A and B are shown apart, each in its own frame.
Chain A
């Protein structure tokens, strides 16, 4: 079946460090891929998305590229801030479906 696997956390970095959170997926056909972010005490919100192979989603300095050959959608940011501390979820869906399949989440903590 369809699934999403992301690196386990917690990930702890110093401010201005480079961030990578790995995400791979198992799916048939051509899903759309998402990264959602959950800040403390809040619900999830969409961070970025990519709907076809080689698309790059970007938002708030975060980027992720849809790599079909490696079935990956790794999240990157060049210089993290304390305000980026949150839980990040990789996810996939199909245009013909309504459900989103979420990964287990990766907790990110940024030290000042």
Chain B
């Protein structure tokens, strides 16, 4: 299994630009999570989906952030417009709903975003 795939691995952009981060979860996993990690704030859950439906977006920092999951194998996290304080590593994770894994989440390698 290829694991959770994220792209791009690194993104450098200028303030005000639109940024789109992409994630392909592990096939067969029903849950998908987006996290943000910074030195100051640690690991923060932004939003998660169950069967492509957003369940909890209370962690999305503001309206500049949006996430979609058009099908079971693809999700995007968009920031528009981007700001320097959005600089962070963004992780995607997926989890099966098979009742055996105790909600173990499988993380992708992350996208390191730098907003200048």
Q: What is the interface of chain A, defined by CB distance below 8 A to chain B?
A: 32, 34, 41-46, 49, 51, 89, 93-95, 97-100, 102, 104-105
Contacts and interface: CB of A to CB of B under 8 A. Distances in A.
B88 to A, nearest CB: 14
14 contacts: A42-B110, A43-B109, A45-B106, A49-B104, A95-B99, A98-B95, A98-B103, A99-B56, A100-B105, A102-B42, A102-B43, A104-B42, A105-B42, A105-B43
Nearest to B105: A100
Contact of B107 (A44, A49, A51, A99): A44
A49 B100 CA distance: 13
Contacts of A45: 106-107
Contacts, number: 54
Given A43-B91, A99-B45, A49 B97 contact: no
Interface of B: 4, 31, 33, 42-43, 45, 48, 50, 55-56, 91, 93, 95, 97, 99, 102-110
A43 B48 contact: no
A34 B105 CA distance: 11
A98 B45 CA distance: 12
A27 to B, nearest CB: 14
Q: Which of B42, B45, B99, B102 has the most CB of A within 10 A?
A: B102
